[in-house]
Each structure stands twice: as C-alpha cells, then as structure tokens.
Amino acid sequence: MADLIKLTTPLDDAAVAQLKAGDQVSISGVLYTARDVAHKRLVDTLDAGKPLPFDMTGQVIYYVGPSPAKPGQVIGSAGPTTSYRMDLYAERLMEVGMKGMIGKGMRDKKVVDAMKKHKCVYFAAIGGAAALIARSIKAAEVIAYDDLGPEAVRRLVVEDFRAVVINDVNGNDLYEIGKAQYRKAK
C-alpha cells in the first residue's frame, strides 16, 4: 500500500490538489460533523442569506451520527454514514469553501464534477469500524442543532484519523479503479 499522507485541517487548494484517488491519509485538526437533516438546515440557512454556524472555509465535513458517549468518554462509536444522501447539498457547501468530505459509498457524478470545479476531495473511512475510529477523536462538542441528537453538528478535534481518498480533484474514483483491477466477471 501507498505511504501515509499527513493532512492538517483546515485544507487549502494546494493540500487538496496533491491528493490522488487511492492515497491513504492521516488527518489531524478539526472536523465538523453533519448528516441528513443538518445538511438541509445548513443549505436552508445559506439560501436564506444567513451565516452558517461555523466558517466553512477550508473545512472538512465528516458524515457521522455518533453513539452517545459513556461517562468519561469524549464520544461514542463514530464511523462514517453513507454519503449519497448528502449529494443534493454537497455543491452548495463547496461554494462557500468546504474542501473535504468524509463518508462511505459512491457519490453522484454531479458531486464529482463539482469537486473538480471547486477543488474539494472525498475521503472514505472504514464503515462499521466505529469503536476503533472513535479512538482518533480527542474532543467533541455540539455547536449547532442540538435538537437533532445524533444528527447535531459537532466540532471534533482528531489526531491521526485514517481515511482513503476516493475522489480527487481530477475526477478519479477509487471505487471504479479498485473494481476494475479485481473484476473477473465479463
């Protein structure tokens, strides 16, 4: 496997542009969480001309709804949720500076095209490896939409959060590349 690339958030265009589909990355810094309903609220906020609950410039959004933290824990288990449900909202967030998304599963072509246009990357974390992933999360705080429970927007501080680049800014797709390499079916 390829060498591990260390990334520190927030990301700029240069950091994003160097990444290629298939690169293994270790992310440290701040991630913001958002999933279905939170995305709708973020986009509705933008459409209403109001400010977002956090500055999106250079940020990486992690699609996750964690389990509740036990006493003394920072966060409960916290693996990625399936990304296509956020496809409808992704480009709108890229327009205001989002540089990365972490989830699992394939994205719509429109999102991949938008990533090329706005210089944004899509990473996958290992779906279901949630107890392990939680160990790389060092701090967690709900910063918006507390009423949504697991779907609230959280500010996470992560260290050595492992992910792989699925879609890079050149339109490459690791799911397609990997599948083609091992395909036996005609």
Partner 1 sequence: MRTIHADIIAKAVKEMVIKANTDLGADVVAAFEKGLKDEASPVGQAVFKTLIKNAEIAATEQAPICQDTGMAVFFVELGQDVHIEGALLQEAIDEGVRQGYAEGYLRKSICDPFTRVNTKDNTPSVVLVEMVKGDKLKITAAPKGGGSENMSRLTMLAPSAGKKGIVDFVVKRCEEAGSNPCPPVIVGVGIGGSAEKCMTNAKKALLRKIGAPNPDKELAELEAEMLEKINALGMGPQGLGGLVYAMAVHIEKHPCHIASLPVAVNICCHASRHKEATL
Question: Would you tell me which residues interact with partner 1 (CB under 8 A)?
Answer: 1, 36-37, 64-70, 76-79, 81-82, 84, 104-106, 124, 126-132, 134-135, 148-151, 164, 174-175, 177-185
Q: How far is the CB of 72 from partner 1 (least distance, A)?
A: 11
Q: 87-95 and 36-47 helices cross at what angle (nearest 10)?
A: 40
Q: Give dist(CA 64, CA 54) in Å, integer.
A: 17
Nearer of residues 94 and 122 to partner 1, judged by Cβ: 122
Q: How far is the CB of 40 from partner 1 (least distance, A)?
A: 9
Q: Give dist(CA 103, CA 124) in Å, integer.
A: 5
Six-digit token string for 83: 């990304």
Nearer of residues 53 and 76 to partner 1, judged by Cβ: 76
Q: Measured at the alpha carbon of residue 33, what is the angle toward residues 13 and 71, in degrees to the nearest 5?
A: 140
Q: How far is the CB of 138 from partner 1 (least distance, A)?
A: 16
Nearer of residues 51 and 72 to partner 1, judged by Cβ: 72
Asked if residues 84 and 110 have their Cβ atoms less than 8 Å apart, the reply is: no
Q: How far is the CB of 30 from partner 1 (least distance, A)?
A: 19
Q: 87-95 and 109-118 helices cross at what angle (nearest 10)?
A: 10
Nearer of residues 58 and 100 to partner 1, judged by Cβ: 100
Q: How far is the CB of 154 from partner 1 (least distance, A)?
A: 12
Nearer of residues 58 and 62 to partner 1, judged by Cβ: 62
Query: What is the β-pairing status of strands 137-144 and 153-167?
Result: antiparallel
